[in-house]
Amino acid sequence: MDGDISLKTEKVKARKEAGIGWVVFNNPEKHNALGLEMSEAATDALVSYASDPEVRVVVLTGAGGKSFVSGADISEFEKTRSNAAQAERYSERSGGLYGVLRDMEKPTIAMIQGYCMGGGLALAAACDLRFASDDSQFAIPAAKLSIAYRPDFVGWVVDLVGPSRAKDILFSARRLKADEALQIGLVNRVVPAGELDKMTREYCATVAGNAPLSIRASKLTINELCKAERDQDVGKIQRLAKDCFDSEDFKEGRTAFMEKRKPVWKGR
């Protein structure tokens, strides 16, 4: 059933709508800077969507039109990240959001307008796809704060743009405009700001209308193939294919094709 999902803070909004599970970072006064409470609330929303068969695709975005996520909430640093020991504890608490997002078997999309900085860029890189408005800006300002980003955060950016461009982003701490982000592969699509929501919804409708078992198999297979060959779980890939061919949905897909109608997927 569509509707809002209750979370522990108003700074994150979650709602189900037409097969989409929305996670909206709602801290526009701070350009949606991500605090611990927000990270934990967003994690709760993602966990709910992961097990909800009505949710076919998950979209993360920011409220206010000026920021996706501008990074971690630096105002919390004195209490939570003022030294290495605190930073490690902070990483453990906040890292659940990124872990749940990376482990999500459903497609995930970052819908980006405005600032996408630091941990916000890591969050976007952790998603499967990134759609951005033409007024978006991207940066990792670690070099301006004398901090080191987590290896997994850096690795996700390297996966998207390659090691040389990732070094440029980190060494310079400069801001990339949307057109450059598209050119180097940091984002998948760039559209005028007024068209971003419509385009994202249309794309999600296409995904939601396709067979969920097939999409799950595609995502997990690609993830396995991106690993070093010695780490690939070939058995998992084979099981995913078998599950599709043995499913009710495969039978429904064949029947619908012959009957020239839209299939009704059950996800099993």
- The mean pLDDT of the chain is 90
End position of a domain, from candidates 190, 208, 226: 208
Q: Is residue 216 part of a domain?
A: yes
pLDDT digits (tens, 9 = 90+) for 243-263: 899 888 888 888 988 888 888
Rounded-to-integer distance, Cα 97 and Cα 49, Å: 13
At residue 92, the pLDDT reads 60
- For 50, the token pair is 């992961």
Share of the chain above pLDDT 70, in %: 91
Whether residue 13 is found in the same domain as residue 52: yes
Model confidence band, residue 63 (pLDDT cutoffs 50, 70, 90): very high
Phi and psi, residue 66, nearest 5°: -110, -15
pLDDT digits (tens, 9 = 90+) for 121-155: 999 999 999 999 999 999 999 999 888 889 999 99
Whether residue 162 is found in the same domain as residue 225: no
- Torsion (CA) 230, 235, 236, 242 in degrees, nearest 10: 150
At residue 80, the pLDDT reads 52
Q: Is residue 264 part of a domain?
A: no
Residue range 222-242: average pLDDT? 89
- Judge contact between 64 and 100, C-beta under 8 A: no
Rounded-to-integer distance, Cα 264 and Cα 151, Å: 42
Whether residue 14 is found in the same domain as residue 50: yes
Q: Is residue 244 part of a domain?
A: yes
Share of the chain above pLDDT 90, in %: 69
Whether residue 130 is found in the same domain as residue 240: no
Whether residue 151 is found in the same domain as residue 225: no
Domain count, the chain: 2
* Identity of residue 87: A
Q: Is residue 266 part of a domain?
A: no
Whether residue 135 is found in the same domain as residue 161: yes
Residue range 225-251: average pLDDT? 88
| Residue 80's CATH number | 3.90.226.10
Domain that holds residue 246: 212-259
Within the chain, residue ranges assigned H as helices are: 36-50, 77-80, 84-103, 119-126, 151-161, 163-172, 178-183, 193-208, 212-225, 234-245, 248-259
Whether residue 189 is found in the same domain as residue 254: no
- For 209, the token pair is 């209308």
Please state whether beta strands 115-117 and 67-69 pair in parallel, antiparallel, or not at all (unpaired): parallel
Whether residue 117 is found in the same domain as residue 173: yes
At residue 72, the pLDDT reads 77
Whether residue 225 is found in the same domain as residue 197: no
End position of a domain, from candidates 208, 230, 248: 208
Q: Is residue 187 part of a domain?
A: yes
Whether residue 188 is found in the same domain as residue 224: no
Residue range 58-71: average pLDDT? 95
Q: Is residue 267 part of a domain?
A: no
Q: Is residue 195 part of a domain?
A: yes
Whole-number Cα distances in Å, 127 to 81, 83, 157, 169, 177: 25, 29, 11, 19, 20
Whether residue 188 is found in the same domain as residue 93: yes
Whether residue 181 is found in the same domain as residue 249: no
Q: Is residue 268 part of a domain?
A: no
